[in-house]
Amino acid sequence: MKHIYIKALLISCLSTMPFIAAQAQIEAKFSNYFYNLQNVNPASVSSLENTTITGIIRSQWQGIEGAPETQLLSIGIPINNNKMGVGFNILHDEIGPSSYSSVDGLYSYSIRLSEKSNLDFGINLGITLLDVDFTKGNFENEGDLARNNIDNKTYFRTGAGIMYHTYRWYAGLSVPNFFKQDFYDEEISNVIANKLQYNFQTGYLLNLNQNFDFVPSILATVVNGNPITLTVTGNFMYNQKFNFGIGYRYDEALNATIGFQFLSHFQVGYAYDLSLQEFGKYNDGSHELILKYRFGSKSSRPGVLNIF
């Protein structure tokens, strides 16, 4: 009975999470974020070596009904000798009875500060659709709430980012959405307001020897009124073909990642998250699969932004 009660409580919480997340600007999280920085910061598009297509599928908290399922498709195209870049991020997220979809167009412009350093500026502009089907939920006292579904609620979004990078390290700051659209909830007679989200990212490429590289990276997410989400990751790369690493998301999860390159253009990666929170004992962890295709070939010693 205890297991059933806790599971029901989790599902109830999950059912409200996407609606709150859509209003509070908490974007989807990925353990393999370093494979696809353009989803974190639009400024990174102009730093790509070649046109790149990246797909990520994430299944969170296995074993819990209604747990998050997320898919992301990104396309990045450097143009004009990497002075500019354009791209798209297409995301679909399902949690409980709700689904959240967004499409963003990206543009980035790069300024060469020196022979070894660049400063990139990027913007993203897009649209988000929110759907909530309350008939998928179980209510002890069903009322109007269970019948007031949300169908294709539309939100426009625009964000920006800046990134400084050299061959060995990068540091960037981004805001996924500047729009602050309040929503009035008649059920609780309250206004739920958007809050800006700030992403800070940094990483460093350390050449250990001729075959091994080590890349520590940090991703910090700050939303006013919420605890800081801090992810620290360390990845080892062998001969530009195989990588493995571990990561820690503060007070949330421990993860392990593995990836390899095949057929010269394809990369595949996998991450497993072990939840460190109390309800971790009631789920089987989170799984994340990534597939990346790069047109053209990587340079013999790509920089930190293109090593994965």
Answer whether residue 70 is part of any domain. Answer: yes
Answer whether residue 300 is part of any domain. Answer: no
Answer whether residue 306 is part of any domain. Answer: no
pTM of the model: 0.83
Answer whether residue 308 is part of any domain. Answer: no
Give the total number of structural domains in the chain: 1
User: Where do the DSSP E strands lie in the chain?
Assistant: 52-59, 69-79, 84-95, 98-114, 117-132, 150-166, 169-175, 183-185, 190-192, 197-204, 206-207, 212-223, 229-238, 242-249, 253-262, 266-275, 286-294
Answer whether residue 305 is part of any domain. Answer: no
Domain that holds residue 168: 2-294
Measured distance CA(176)–CA(182) in Å, rounded: 17
Answer whether residue 154 is part of any domain. Answer: yes
Answer whether residue 119 is part of any domain. Answer: yes
Token pair for 10 = 């989790």
Which domain CATH number covers 107? 2.40.160.40
Measured distance CA(67)–CA(199) in Å, rounded: 24
Answer whether residue 303 is part of any domain. Answer: no
Per-residue pLDDT of the chain (308 residues), as tens digits, is: 334 333 443 444 443 443 333 344 457 889 889 999 999 999 999 999 999 999 999 998 877 777 889 999 999 999 988 899 999 999 999 887 788 899 999 999 999 999 899 999 999 999 998 887 766 665 555 555 555 667 778 889 999 999 999 999 999 999 999 886 544 344 433 434 457 889 999 999 999 998 999 999 999 999 877 888 899 999 999 998 999 999 999 988 999 999 999 888 899 999 999 988 776 677 788 999 999 999 987 787 889 999 88
